[in-house]
């Protein structure tokens, strides 16, 4: 059975002190459930870069993984404002979000740049969480699968075979992010199925069947169970609802045996 992943994207929120407090709150709820969680799901929190050290300390001794929100694909050099895989690994980071819609739409990151970042993450032996998703206009034009599959193909273009097993995809419709309007389980299922088919074409069925495809976009404790009940939705990438310990912990525990 495919493992689920529940990932918190803190975006540009929380100081080190606030991040530590949030992790303490999450651990107070989830640590007692650790053995049950470990059966079928992984949990990750992705703070902003200056909060990684505090978050790593606060996570010591827990099975909650540490993630980052972006990464450059070169190992080092004149890339002001960027961080490398080695830098992230030195904090104990194991997942890196790439191609988040805020990177694509606010900061103009192209499909090609996102693909380079994803390849760099995999080459650094970290797990890329590649975000893909259509805007409201693209959905209204009937172009949802065209956009998602284009972003997916470009995002995976540079991933070598030995990096494939670490890939995570997050389907995040842009119109659902931070809007309080989530995709319905049925809408998400159609896109997740198309992503799974494309992953099989790209990596072969054996590898593709193991890769988690997360849903992201206004996931809350109220809607998570109906989304996670769908067989091709393998967890969630959570923004707003990950900033409160009780709501994130409730999302992580969705459908737990
Ligand atoms: C996100 O930023 O990845 C996200 C899904 O945000 P929210 O949960 O707030 O919609």
pTM beyond 0.95, yes or no? yes
pLDDT bracket for residue 255 (50, 70, 90):
very high
**What ranges make up the beta strands (E) of the chain?**
4-9, 41-46, 65-68, 93-98, 127-132, 168-171, 213-216, 235-238
Residue 131 Cα: closest atom of ligand 1: 3
29 domain-assigned: yes
Tell the residue nearest (CA) to atom 4 of ligand 1: 239
CATH of the domain at 48: 3.20.20.70
pLDDT at 225 over 80: yes
pLDDT digits (tens, 9 = 90+) for 52-79: 999 999 999 999 999 999 999 999 999 9
For range 149-174, the mean pLDDT: 96
pLDDT at 257 over 80: no
A 10 A CB-CB count for 150 gives 14
79 domain-assigned: yes
Rounded to the nearest whole angstrom, what is the distance from the C-alpha of residue 178 to the centroid of ligand 1?
5
Task: Specify the pLDDT at position 1.
Answer: 81
DSSP state of 242: G
What secondary structure, in 3-state letters, does 178-214 show? CCCCCCCHHHHHHHHHHHHHHHHHHHCHHHHCCCCEE
Domain count, the chain: 1
Residues with CB under 6 A from ligand 1: 9, 172, 177-178, 216-219, 237-241
Residue in this structure with the two tokens 């192209």, named with its chain if needed:
110
140 domain-assigned: yes
Residue 170 Cα: closest atom of ligand 1: 3
87 domain-assigned: yes
Rounded to the nearest whole angstrom, what is the distance from the C-alpha of residue 100 to the centroid of ligand 1?
9
Tokens standing for residue 165:
């097993």
Sort 108 into a burial class: Cβ within 10 Å, 0-12 / 13-18 / 19+.
Answer: exposed
Domain extent for 176: 4-252
257 domain-assigned: no
175 domain-assigned: yes
Task: Specify the pLDDT at position 161.
Answer: 85
Residue 11 Cα: closest atom of ligand 1: 2
């Amino acid at each position: 059975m495919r493992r689920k992943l529940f990932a918190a994207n803190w975006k540009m929120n929380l100081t080190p002190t606030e991040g530590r407090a949030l992790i303490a709150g999450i651990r107070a709820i989830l640590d007692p459930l650790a053995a049950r969680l470990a059966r079928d799901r992984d949990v990750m929190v992705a703070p902003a870069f200056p909060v990684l050290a505090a978050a790593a300390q606060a996570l010591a001794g827990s099975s909650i993984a540490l993630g980052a929100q972006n990464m450059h694909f070169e190992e080092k050099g004149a890339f002001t404002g960027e961080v490398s895989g080695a830098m992230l690994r030195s904090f104990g980071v194991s997942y890196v979000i790439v191609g988040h819609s805020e990177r694509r739409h606010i900061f103009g990151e192209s499909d090609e740049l996102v693909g380079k970042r994803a390849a760099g993450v995999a080459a650094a032996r970290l797990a890329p969480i590649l975000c893909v998703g259509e805007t409201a206009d693209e959905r209204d034009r009937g172009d949802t699968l065209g956009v998602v599959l284009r972003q997916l193909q470009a995002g995976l273009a540079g991933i070598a075979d030995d990096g494939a097993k670490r890939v995570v995809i997050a389907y995040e419709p842009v119109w659902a992010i931070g809007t309080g309007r989530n995709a319905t389980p049925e809408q998400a299922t159609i896109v997740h199925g198309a992503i799974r088919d494309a992953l099989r074409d790209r990596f072969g069925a054996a590898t593709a069947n193991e890769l988690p495809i997360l849903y992201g976009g206004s996931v809350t404790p109220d809607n998570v169970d109906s989304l996670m009940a769908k067989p091709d939705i393998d967890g969630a990438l959570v923004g707003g609802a990950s900033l409160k310990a009780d709501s994130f912990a409730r999302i992580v525990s969705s459908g737990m045996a």
